[in-house]
Structure 1
Amino acid sequence: MPRKLLVAEKPAFARDFFHSPASKVTEWDAVFTMSLGWWRFAPDHTRTFSDIPFTSLPSLMHRFTDLNSRDRYRLYELDRDIKPYQNDLYPTPEALIGYLHSKCIDGTYDEVVILVDPDHTGGWGASQIVTALGVCGEMPVPVTVVRIVCFTAEALNKAFSTRAPWANSPIQQDISYAKVKRLFDYWFFTNSALVFGELLKQLELNNSKILSKYELMATCILGQAQVDVSFGEFADRLAKWPGSGKFRPEQRIGIGSPMSLNYIIKQMLDRGTAHPLSESTIGLTPRGSALIDLLHPKTFDPDLPFRLHKWCSENDLEAAGRYIRQLFGRQLRYQRRHMA
């Protein structure tokens, strides 16, 4: 009897699905994207200042490379519960993909079913596996997408019965959004490592981690504060950042996520651009002020989160790349003229 292959974002999704009526139509195997996917853009440490601004396409590398995380590349059976097949540990994602590809070809699987969150993270992880399998238009195995509304048995059963073909599913918008966002972040980090890294070294600030787009914004916003601000007020200001006013309220998103805000503030403290003024307040350090003084007037973009969301939503990779080239080309020329 043919089986179906479930590509789920995490084991909890597969477990909920298995306990719904939808899973009873056939037998199932499962693999998990673990949200982030099996591959990530490989950092490029070969770039020099002559490459700035840099917006080339990156290569890929395995996301999980240590021995303790190899079991992420496993095939699981849904049989009363989620259990890995015995002696079924693949050292690389390519090894597991090769096995799954062969099972699509020989008829073991008659369908690949995607079950991920309806957002760009879920879509990106699923697209990596589907692309690697080569099932889109190249093999006689349909790929379908179950859009999750909630995880009740009734909702899962309805979502499964109305699952859409991969090519026509809204997941394609999630994937294009994710691609633009991840490429923009990759380009920003690659350029930042050199350009802002030079400034950090010049000012004897902690350069052990690359200055991110939102840490840079948060540093500039803190520098605008006219009075002492509490840690909570500062985090709230970032979360509700209004930008310049160019974008309408419904187009605005905060700086970072609720989960990342604490990390951004902690990184500012660790870097030395910010320091506690008391147990409850935060302020810019003199070196943090010096960093801002060496930024081109257009480097701080109050609308960057909203621009990036717009480019991602419209799949406008050209605009994202052009922004990176203008930002870092201009900033490098400016700081070279103004550094002592």
Structure 2
Amino acid sequence: MRLAIIAEKPSVTARFSRVLAEFYPDVDFSEVAVFHPMLGWYVGHRRFQFPRGLKWQDFPFVGDTAYRAISIDAARPVKGIKDISARRVISTEEGLQALHTADLILLLMDPSAQSVHLAAKFLGDHFETIPWERTLFPWVPDLSDNAMRQSLSAARRPDQFAIPLIEMGDNLRFFDYNFLVNSFALLGRSVMEDAGLRGPVPSKYGLQTLYDARQTGPLNDGQRIDRMSSWKGTGKYRHRKYYGLGSCASRAAILQQLIEGGFLERNGKKTDITDGGRRYLDLLHPNCLDSDLPFRIADWSALPPAEARAKMTRYLRTFFGKQKVFIETRRKSGSN
């Protein structure tokens, strides 16, 4: 049996290696190809193919999500699984062949809409039609041996249960794509230069983190990440089950990006908003402060695609429309 694995991260494959042989005793694990599409997807602006030639009058812009393909090489393919055999890097050609000739493709991804959407996108980039009939997705809640065994025993084809999750992931990326396109123009250079900053422009959650830093004053990284992970917003969404501002993987990166952009500065073990960061926020429309944004996105993304995108479109046009008018009014008055 020829097995290929699409994994969230190398450490996940290493953990599963402790139990995989129990379920696939006839697999030569020295020949199992493992792909990590997350490594070609992690930085937001690398995910998308942004429109070119947009003019000021084109904003606020809302369009269909245009993704960059995740190449085999970007997914860092290897053969072999840690603790079962030595791993070795393989070529793009060898990786593509392994993916296409596999009798079974196992998705060792996190149990989330974003992760299964990413796996589906990677498969869609390399097959004319995704081969769901030879794909299994073990929905594993944690990486204990018992949980991994149970998830492998109950693994199902993604098209039998995960299509709504893939649609949810696509809804999330629709918002991300359009927020980024608009933020480059309306939250980016023209505003940052007036604030004495060079960027990069804050992400959607980086912006809300910056507003929070203005409110809290100096905090160490652990305190900031705790605030992000237990984010309450205005309190309007207290009844919602939600996992915070950003993800476990992205929160430290959000803080680092704000520091690199000059929005936050590190003083000893604590970070605080800079003078430039304060000026930057003063140059934004007051409604750019939306501490409930992660809750709104979570609610919208769970809707059918057409309804989700209609609500997201309305929000994006309002959010960036107000900021555009705010910039134009400031320019006409000659104020900074």
Same fold by TM-score greater than 0.5 = yes
The residue correspondences of 1:70-85 to structure 2 (distance < 5 A) are 72-73=76-77, 81=85, 83-84=87-88
Instruction: Say which SS state the counterpart of residue 287 (structure 2) adopts.
Output: coil
Does residue 3 of structure 1 match 2:5? no
Cα contact 1:35–1:125 (8 A) shared by 2:
yes
Cα contact 1:41–1:59 (8 A) shared by 2:
yes
Does residue 182 of structure 1 match 2:186? no
CA separation of 1:31 and 1:247: change in aligned 2, threshold 3 A: same
Does residue 34 of structure 1 match 2:36? yes
Partner residue in 1 for 2:23 = 22
Partner residue in 2 for 1:106 = none
Q: 1:292 aligns with which of 268, 281, 292?
A: 281
CA separation of 1:82 and 1:161: change in aligned 2, threshold 3 A: farther
Cα contact 2:4–2:106 (8 A) shared by 1:
yes
In the TM superposition, residue 262 of structure 1 has moved relative to its aligned partner by: 4.0
Instruction: Say which SS state the counterpart of residue 25 (structure 2) adopts.
Output: helix
The residue correspondences of 1:82-121 to structure 2 (distance < 5 A) are 83-84=87-88, 89-90=91-92, 96-97=95-96, 100-101=99-100, 103=101, 109-121=102-114
Higher strand share: 1
Amino acid at match of 2:120: S
CA separation of 1:293 and 1:154: change in aligned 2, threshold 3 A: closer
In the TM superposition, residue 70 of structure 1 has moved relative to its aligned partner by: 6.0
Cα contact 2:2–2:32 (8 A) shared by 1:
no
Amino acid at match of 1:255: L
Q: 2:184 aligns with which of 193, 207, 210?
A: 193
Partner residue in 1 for 2:44 = none
Instruction: Say which SS state the counterpart of residue 138 (structure 2) adopts.
Output: strand
Structure 1, residues 189-215: CA drift from partner, whole Å, max 9, x if none?
A: 2211111121112232223x1221122
Cα contact 1:235–1:261 (8 A) shared by 2:
yes
Instruction: Say which SS state the counterpart of residue 330 (structure 1) adopts.
Output: helix
% identity of equivalent residues: 23
Amino acid at match of 1:47: L
Cα contact 1:37–1:128 (8 A) shared by 2:
no
In the TM superposition, residue 181 of structure 1 has moved relative to its aligned partner by: 2.1
CA separation of 1:328 and 1:30: change in aligned 2, threshold 3 A: farther
Q: TM-score, normalised by structure 2?
A: 0.77
Partner residue in 2 for 1:211 = 202
Cα contact 1:189–1:210 (8 A) shared by 2:
no
CA separation of 1:333 and 1:3: change in aligned 2, threshold 3 A: same
Partner Cα separation in structure 2 for residue 266 and residue 129 of structure 1: 28
Instruction: Say which SS state the counterpart of residue 332 (structure 1) adopts.
Output: helix
CA separation of 1:158 and 1:134: change in aligned 2, threshold 3 A: farther
Does residue 313 of structure 1 match 2:302? yes
Does residue 122 of structure 1 match 2:105? no
Unaligned runs of 5+ in 1: 104-108
CA separation of 1:32 and 1:329: change in aligned 2, threshold 3 A: farther
Amino acid at match of 2:92: Y
Number of aligned pairs? 318
Partner residue in 2 for 1:244 = 234
Moved more, 30-39 or 183-192: 30-39
Structure (1 or 2) with the larger CA radius of gyration: 1
CA separation of 1:199 and 1:129: change in aligned 2, threshold 3 A: closer
Does residue 50 of structure 1 match 2:57? yes
In the TM superposition, residue 298 of structure 1 has moved relative to its aligned partner by: 1.7
Instruction: Say which SS state the counterpart of residue 112 (structure 1) adopts.
Output: strand
Q: What's the Cα RMSD here?
A: 3.6
Cα contact 2:5–2:35 (8 A) shared by 1:
no
Cα contact 1:70–1:89 (8 A) shared by 2:
no
CA separation of 1:144 and 1:192: change in aligned 2, threshold 3 A: same
Moved more, 318-327 or 146-155: 146-155
Cα contact 2:17–2:81 (8 A) shared by 1:
no
CA separation of 1:25 and 1:314: change in aligned 2, threshold 3 A: farther
In the TM superposition, residue 303 of structure 1 has moved relative to its aligned partner by: 0.4
CA separation of 1:194 and 1:99: change in aligned 2, threshold 3 A: same
Moved more, 305-314 or 288-297: 288-297
In the TM superposition, residue 52 of structure 1 has moved relative to its aligned partner by: 1.3
Partner residue in 2 for 1:167 = 159
